[in-house]
């Protein structure tokens, strides 16, 4: 049920900018804690680069370990932004308004962190530059266009650039608000970022059209990014469980599931941390949960098809791999945990309206989905490598090293740190979007019932 | 000539709409005045002129540029140092398609952003008459007025219910 | 139609005006309608006759499969056009899209075509061997040919496909019946006849709402499930070496695309020749065409995902499959499918001015329906022409030559499509061809009001 809340522009500005203009003590405490983790992580990375990638737990044949699992995971999280911002904007869903910027910013930062993973994973990270960017120096060899490991940087760069520009363009009107409410150096900076915005009808019209146009352009890019990441695995014929045609949409829909779950977690945290009860209401979380039921079920269908088709060819190697993944310790236990956390627990729960409107349950269940999805990526990548054909003498078990674990934890801390930094500099909920929502809301009287309504420009 | 800005409170949007109507009756067309708001209103809510833009040209131009650059890059580099990899042809169309697609989208997005800024007339270092209360919800109506008509327009705003009238000579 | 220079405002119609208009049209059937009904009926009967003639000449049996590929193709075509039309409605009802209302009853009518699909699938089953000792989703083996498999599942694949299809048929009939009974009561009132069961009490409306929701969800899941099973059992499993996990979801996407295209084209016909311009206007086509554009892109995306994996892997078995389905005997059908399922509709729907019209989306929808047919022919005629003795092999030993349709095949295909249209038009006489209760609900939730100096449409959102 929609909840109509009418707030003045002044109140909206005050509420949504209070952390930007004056941050509470707990904010700095959390920043300090996250900063410490990031510092430890940076030192660890420097240590790794200095001593070599042998410090990680990877070894023949499992040459892709936690860093690659985490890379795929963060690419997945980055799909939240376009899903919510673009698709809900194009479908004119009113309940998108408080979620869009947080989702877009999560996209940008998670993409950045994701892109760092293969760089660190390379061992000699400086060589990545020669290898990924198309310039020719003394090596005399250009990039291999035929490799998905080159398609990856092209896609990630495009998506990162597009998402960042999307955030910047949508921030301009809010920069004007900050320009008008600050003084001194802050005012100078925000005035430069506002670029002379005044709020003319032309500027607003272009802002709205820009939202639609950039959404429509980013949507195909968003689909292509995770598809290309999936093709890093799927094009290979040497590893059981990899060479499957369904990987692209399977990865994309899994990414949407984990990304939107992350946005739910983030929005509930925003509501609790910043006291935005008037802006992030139960109806928003409920609608996100309903969306996730559909996405989750779609994901489960793809997962089911992928597993069935692994067995379809009746090849002993493929069947042996699936037995390893599903029934052999430790992967079997992880698989059980994964399927329960990703689907069998949260999705049936979210069918109940009371559960969808309970923020405590939604917070924990959305977190749990991402734990499950992280395990899913682990189970896709590692077991196939552990049983790489056709050299059984090479078969091994993967034990992640402390260095890898620290880097994975650092990635989480870095994303949260960046998000909180953003929250200090810019509003996490778009001010003009919320205000527009109020302008467009109306009411129709049918008999004794007052029905919430929306003014629509045809 | 003087620049004038009539400010109306957020809850008195009707008064602002009446003011624009009064301006039209006074001989000022919707090409003469501009409405400043802190959030988007439906087109035509204050009788302003329809916004015409050519934003849709930019993504097409960008897409073509991006596609050309990507095709050039992928084909020229592979042809320059032809190494057979994985049994695939030197100019592998499916692989080139993927990178060309990304190039196309990147070009379209970059040009679109440039188009948005261009069509919005941003950055604008000299934005003209303005008041910070606009972002607090006030609705501003701004126009250039001949010096001998300043008083008449000021009275028009006040009769319509303006909270404030700013004059810049 | 109003326009204040900024906004296009559709005409305002009261519930009473709408009801009287639609009831009058429903009661008085026009000569064109009767003629169409007769033509489609005759063509359907000719199709049945062609089936009988072909059975007599070519024979029926697993080893006779090669010459019946076009029957399989047209069955798959009906499944992924008429059979999936309700999916578009179910999805739009779930997200409470207000523009779904004029196409609701059309979608429900197309759901009744599942009865014809059932008959066709039963006929096709005589050409499909048991799942024993070959690669299928049932993993059956005598333990020697493929060690470590499930053993024997009685009746696979026929029984399970049939059960799923029966569930689909039940769902399709249920959706129409549940929705139509409210309107049938209204028509009975105007004809002075007694109502049957539906009186319009609050409880009955609630039951209808919940029932349509649950039945819709069930139909959606069953349709996706049946398309998965059908496409694998009746196409992929017949081509040795073809292991393509994305094929079934691709058929699902093709189904969504075909279903929506069917509805858009039908909506256009209803507006143009049924003279429903007052109730079906530009916004319906505009909204539907955006989704159609997205589905065209998805079609390409899923097809490409399969292709790039096969192309990159360069496995001999996969290359044979690519020859059969893309670049070999059926290449012109593939190019036709690619052109009409993706390139042409994409380039058509890319332009906002085209989407903001009734004709543009209808043309794109027509193209997609043509492309879908080409697609089904290359998939089903292609895989059905693989000799049955190769079915359990690891890969195709040779790619079979192209089979073009003969006169009997063409008659069967025309007859099948005509049969589907006959069902839609005939059942369209049992309850109004636009859903009156759903349209009335929409009209009540839509008002046009002044807002400052403009006029806007205000849409109620009771949820």
Domain ranges of chain C: 2-459
Contact C135 A319 (CB under 8 A): no
pLDDT more than 90, % of chain B: 78
Interface test mutation site (partner C, options A226, A246, A289, max chain C beta carbons within 10 A): A246
- How crowded is residue C197: how many other Cβ atoms within 10 Å of its Cβ? 8
Please give the distance of CA B5 from its chain centroid, rounded to a whole number.
Answer: 21
Cα distance between residue A263 and residue A85, in whole Å: 11
Strand, helix or coil for residue A250: helix
Question: Per-residue pLDDT for A258 more than 90?
Answer: yes
> Which of 254-283 (C) contact A at CB < 8 A?
283
Interface test mutation site (partner A, options C94, C305, C393, C456, max chain A beta carbons within 10 A): C305
Lookup result for tokens 């291999």: A144
Region C412-420: mean pLDDT is 98
With beta carbons under 8 A apart, name residues in chain B contacting A432: 38-40
Residue C308: C-alpha distances to residues A255, B92, B107, C53 (Å): 21, 11, 24, 42
Taking the CA of residue C325 and the nearest CA in chain A, the distance in Å comes to: 16
Query: Is B2-52+130-168 in CATH node 3.40.50.920?
Result: no
Taking the CA of residue A152 and the nearest CA in chain B, the distance in Å comes to: 9
- How crowded is residue C208: how many other Cβ atoms within 10 Å of its Cβ? 17
Q: Confidence band (pLDDT; 50, 70, 90) for C4?
A: very low
Q: Confidence band (pLDDT; 50, 70, 90) for A373?
A: very high
ipTM, two decimals: 0.94
With beta carbons under 8 A apart, name residues in chain C contacting A449: 462
Q: Give residue ranges of B with CB < 8 Å to any C CB.
A: 13-14, 16-17, 20-21, 41-47, 50, 56, 86-88, 94, 98
Q: Which pLDDT value is given to residue C160?
A: 94
Interface test mutation site (partner B, options C356, C449, C454, C459, max chain B beta carbons within 10 A): C454
Q: Which pLDDT value is given to residue C150?
A: 67
A-B interface: how many C-beta pairs under 8 angstroms?
192
Q: Enter the tokens of residue C404.
A: 């073009």
Taking the CA of residue B21 and the nearest CA in chain A, the distance in Å comes to: 17
Average confidence score pLDDT of chain C: 92
Q: Confidence band (pLDDT; 50, 70, 90) for C216?
A: very high
| Closest listed residue to residue B94, CA positions, set C294, A220, A234, A145 | A145
Tell whether C146 is within 8 A of chain A (Cβ): yes
Q: Which pLDDT value is given to residue C3?
A: 41
**CATH code for the domain in which residue A15 is found:** 1.20.1630.10
Strand, helix or coil for residue A236: coil
Question: Per-residue pLDDT for A2 more than 60?
Answer: no
Neighbouring chains to C with at least 3 Cβ pairs closer than 8 Å: A, B
SS3 sequence of chain C: CEECCCCEECCCCCHHHHHHHHHHHHHCCCHHHHHHHHHHHHHHHHHHHHHHHHHHHHCCCHHHHHHHHHHHHHHHHHHCCCCCHHHHHHHHHHCCCHHHHHHHHHHHHHHCCHHHHHHHHHHHHHHCCCCECCCCCCCECCCCCCCCCCCCCCCCCHHHHHHHHHHHHHHHHHHHHHHHHHHHHHHHHHCCCCCCCCCCCHHHHHHHHHHHHHHHHHHHHHHHHHHHHHHHHHCHHHCCCCCCCCHHHHHHHHHHHHHHHHHHHHHHHHHHCCCCCCCCCHHHHHHHHHHHHHHHHHHHHHHHHHHHHHHHHCCHHHHHHHHHHHHCCCHHHHHHHHHHHHHHHHHHHCCHHHHCCCHHHHHHHHHHHHHHHHHHHHHHHHHHCCCHHHCCCCCCCCCCCCCCCCHHHHHHHHHHHHHHHHHHHHHCCCCCCCCHHHHHHHHHCEEEEEECCEEEEEEECCC
Residue C24: C-alpha distances to residues A210, C19, C29, C96, C270 (Å): 47, 8, 9, 29, 16
With beta carbons under 8 A apart, name residues in chain A contacting C447: 444, 453
Strand, helix or coil for residue B26: coil
Nearest chain C residue to A224 by CA distance is C301
Contact C451 B87 (CB under 8 A): no
Contact C224 A301 (CB under 8 A): yes
Domains of chain B, by residue range, sit at: 2-52+130-168, 57-119
Q: Given CA atoms A444, A450, A451, A456 in this order, what sign does their dihedral have?
A: positive
Tell me which residue in C307, C311, C453 faces B17 most closely, judged by beta carbons: C453
Cα distance between residue A165 and residue C441, in whole Å: 42
Residue B107: C-alpha distances to residues A208, A358, B65, C113, C368 (Å): 21, 44, 6, 46, 29
Contact C7 B44 (CB under 8 A): yes
Contact B13 C314 (CB under 8 A): no
Question: Per-residue pLDDT for C5 more than 70?
Answer: no
Q: Confidence band (pLDDT; 50, 70, 90) for C7?
A: low
Q: Confidence band (pLDDT; 50, 70, 90) for C2?
A: very low
Q: Confidence band (pLDDT; 50, 70, 90) for C117?
A: very high
Region A104-121: mean pLDDT is 95
Taking the CA of residue C37 and the nearest CA in chain A, the distance in Å comes to: 37
Q: Angle CA(C432)–CA(C437)–CA(C441) in degrees, nearest 5?
A: 140
With beta carbons under 8 A apart, name residues in chain B contacting C452: 13-14, 16-17, 41, 45-46
Question: Per-residue pLDDT for C30 more than 90?
Answer: no
Nearest chain C residue to A245 by CA distance is C306
Nearest chain A residue to C309 by CA distance is A235
**Residue C456: strand pairing partners:** C449
Contact B39 A180 (CB under 8 A): no
| Closest listed residue to residue C315, CA positions, set C247, C382, C242, C249 | C242
Taking the CA of residue B2 and the nearest CA in chain C, the distance in Å comes to: 27
Average confidence score pLDDT of chain A: 92
Neighbouring chains to B with at least 3 Cβ pairs closer than 8 Å: A, C
With beta carbons under 8 A apart, name residues in chain C contacting A235: 308-309, 312-313
Question: Per-residue pLDDT for A397 more than 90?
Answer: no
pLDDT in tens, B98-147: 999 999 999 999 999 999 999 999 999 888 899 999 999 999 999 999 99
pLDDT in tens, C72-109: 999 999 999 999 999 999 999 998 899 999 999 999 99
Tell whether B37 is within 8 A of chain A (Cβ): yes
Nearest chain B residue to C451 by CA distance is B45
Q: Is A1 within the bounds of a domain?
A: no
Backbone angles phi, psi at C239, to 5 degrees: -110, 110
What is the pTM assigned to this prediction?
Answer: 0.94
Domains in chain A, number: 1
Interface test mutation site (partner C, options A87, A144, A444, A452, max chain C beta carbons within 10 A): A444
Cα distance between residue C289 and residue C350, in whole Å: 10
| Closest listed residue to residue C113, CA positions, set C379, C380, C418, C355 | C418
Nearest chain C residue to B51 by CA distance is C6
| Closest listed residue to residue A17, CA positions, set A174, A168, A169, A171 | A174
Cα distance between residue B52 and residue B43, in whole Å: 12
Question: Of the given ranges (A31-40, A337-346, B72-81), which has the lowest mean pLDDT?
Answer: B72-81
Nearest chain C residue to A447 by CA distance is C444
Contact C308 A454 (CB under 8 A): no
**Residue A453: strand pairing partners:** A442, C460
Contact C314 B56 (CB under 8 A): no
Q: Which pLDDT value is given to residue C1?
A: 37
Nearest chain C residue to A235 by CA distance is C309
């Amino acid at each position: 049920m929609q909840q109509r809340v009418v707030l003045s522009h002044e109140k909206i500005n005050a509420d949504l900018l209070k952390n930007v203009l004056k941050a509470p003590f707990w904010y700095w405490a959390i920043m300090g804690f996250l900063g410490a983790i990031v510092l430890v992580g940076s030192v660890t990375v420097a240590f790794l680069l200095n001593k070599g990638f042998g410090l990680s737990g990877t070894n023949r044949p499992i040459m892709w370990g936690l860093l690659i699992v985490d890379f795929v995971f963060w690419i997945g999280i980055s799909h939240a932004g376009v899903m919510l911002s673009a698709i809900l904007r194009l479908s004119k869903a009113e309940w998108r308004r408080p979620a869009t910027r947080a989702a877009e910013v999560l996209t940008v930062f998670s993409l950045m962190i994701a892109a760092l993973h293969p760089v660190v994973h390379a061992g000699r990270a400086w060589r990545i530059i020669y290898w990924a960017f198309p310039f020719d120096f003394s090596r005399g060899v250009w990039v291999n266009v035929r490799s998905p490991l080159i398609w990856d940087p092209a896609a990630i760069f495009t998506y990162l650039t597009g998402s960042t520009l999307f955030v910047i363009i949508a921030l301009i009107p809010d920069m004007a608000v900050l320009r008008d409410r600050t003084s001194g150096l802050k005012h100078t900076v925000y005035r430069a970022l506002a670029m002379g915005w005044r709020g003319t009808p032309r500027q607003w019209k272009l802002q709205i059209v820009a939202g639609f146009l950039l959404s429509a352009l980013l949507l195909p890019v968003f689909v292509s990014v995770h598809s290309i990441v999936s093709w890093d695995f799927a094009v290979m014929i040497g590893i059981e469980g990899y060479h499957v045609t369904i990987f692209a949409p399977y990865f994309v829909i899994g990414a949407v599931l984990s990304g939107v779950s992350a946005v739910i977690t983030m929005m509930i945290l925003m509501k609790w941390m910043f006291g935005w009860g008037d802006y992030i209401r139960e109806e928003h979380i409920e609608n996100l949960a309903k969306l996730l039921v559909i996405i989750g079920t779609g994901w489960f269908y793809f997962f089911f098809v992928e597993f069935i088709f692994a067995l379809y060819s009746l090849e002993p190697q493929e069947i042996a791999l699936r037995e390893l993944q599903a029934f052999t310790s430790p992967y079997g236990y992880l698989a059980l945990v994964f399927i329960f956390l990703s689907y069998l627990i949260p999705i049936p729960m979210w069918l109940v309206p009371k559960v969808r409107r309970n923020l405590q349950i939604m917070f924990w269940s959305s977190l749990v989905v991402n734990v499950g999805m992280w395990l899913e990526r682990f189970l896709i990548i590692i077991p196939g490598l552990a049983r790489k054909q056709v050299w059984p003498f090479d078969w091994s078990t993967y034990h992640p090293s402390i260095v890898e674990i620290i880097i994975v934890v650092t990635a989480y801390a870095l994303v949260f740190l960046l998000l909180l930094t953003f929250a200090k500099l810019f509003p996490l909920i778009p001010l003009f979007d919320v205000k527009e929502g109020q302008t467009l809301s109306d009411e129709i009287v049918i008999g004794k019932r007052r029905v919430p309504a929306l003014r629509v420009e045809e | 000539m003087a620049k004038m800005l009539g400010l109306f409170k957020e809850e008195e949007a009707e008064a602002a709409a009446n003011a624009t109507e009064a301006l039209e009756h006074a001989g000022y067309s919707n090409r003469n005045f501009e409405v400043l708001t802190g959030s988007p209103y439906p087109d035509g809510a204050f009788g302003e002129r329809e916004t015409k833009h050519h934003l849709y040209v930019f993504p097409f131009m960008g897409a073509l540029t991006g596609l050309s650059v990507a095709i050039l890059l992928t084909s020229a580099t592979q042809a320059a140092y032809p190494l057979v990899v994985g049994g695939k042809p030197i100019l592998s169309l499916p692989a080139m398609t993927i990178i060309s697609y990304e190039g196309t989208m990147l070009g379209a997005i970059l040009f679109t952003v440039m188009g948005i800024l261009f069509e919005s007339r941003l950055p604008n270092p000299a934005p003209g008459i303005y008041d910070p209360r606009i972002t607090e919800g006030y609705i501003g109506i701004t126009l250039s007025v001949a010096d001998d008509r300043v008083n008449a327009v000021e009275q028009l705003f006040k009769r319509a219910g303006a909270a404030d009238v700013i004059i810049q000579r | 139609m109003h326009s204040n220079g900024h906004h296009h405002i559709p005409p305002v119609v009261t519930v009473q005006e709408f009801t009287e208009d639609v009831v009058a049209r429903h009661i008085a059937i026009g000569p064109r309608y009767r003629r169409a009904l007769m033509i489609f009926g005759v063509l359907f009967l000719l199709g049945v006759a062609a089936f009988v003639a072909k059975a007599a000449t070519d024979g029926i049996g697993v080893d006779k499969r090669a010459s019946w590929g076009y029957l399989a193709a047209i069955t798959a075509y009906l499944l992924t056009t008429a059979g999936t039309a309700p999916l578009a409605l179910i999805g739009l009802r779930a997200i409470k899209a207000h523009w779904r209302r004029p196409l609701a009853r059309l979608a429900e009518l197309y759901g009744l075509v599942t009865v014809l699909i059932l008959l066709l699938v039963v006929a096709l089953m005589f050409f499909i061997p048991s799942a024993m000792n070959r690669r299928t989703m049932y993993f059956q083996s005598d333990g020697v040919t493929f060690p470590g498999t499930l053993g024997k599942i009685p009746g696979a694949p026929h029984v399970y496909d049939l059960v799923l299809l029966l569930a689909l048929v039940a769902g399709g009939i249920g959706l129409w019946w549940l929705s139509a009974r409210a309107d049938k009561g209204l028509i009975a009132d105007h004809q002075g006849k007694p109502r049957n069961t539906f009186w319009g009490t609050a409880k009955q409306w609630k039951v209808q709402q919940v029932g349509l929701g649950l039945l819709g969800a069930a139909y959606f899941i069953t349709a996706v499930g049946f398309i998965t099973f059908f496409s694998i059992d009746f196409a992929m499993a017949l081509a040795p070496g073809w292991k393509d996990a994305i094929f079934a979801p691709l058929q699902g996407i093709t189904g969504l695309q075909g279903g929506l295209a069917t509805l858009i084209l039908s909506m256009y016909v209803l507006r143009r020749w049924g003279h429903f311009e007052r109730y079906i206007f530009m916004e319906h086509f505009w909204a539907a065409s955006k989704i159609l554009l997205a589905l065209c892109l998805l079609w390409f995306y899923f097809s490409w995902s399969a292709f790039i994996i096969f192309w990159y892997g360069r496995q001999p078995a996969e290359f044979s499959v690519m020859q059969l389905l893309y670049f070999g005997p059926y290449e012109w059908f593939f190019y036709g499918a690619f052109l009409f399922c993706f390139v042409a509709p994409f380039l058509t729907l890319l332009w906002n001015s085209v989407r903001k019209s009734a004709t543009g989306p209808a043309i794109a929808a027509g193209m997609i329906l043509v492309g879908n047919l080409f697609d089904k022919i290359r998939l089903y005629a292609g895989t059905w022409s693989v000799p049955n003795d190769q079915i359990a092999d690891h890969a195709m030993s040779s790619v079979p030559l192209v089979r073009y349709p003969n006169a009997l095949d063409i008659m069967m295909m025309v007859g099948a499509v005509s049969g589907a249209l006959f069902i839609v038009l005939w059942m369209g006489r049992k309850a109004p061809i636009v859903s009156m209760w759903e349209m009335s609900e929409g009209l009540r939730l839509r008002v046009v009001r002044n807002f400052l100096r403009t006029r806007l449409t205000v849409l109620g959102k009771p949820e």
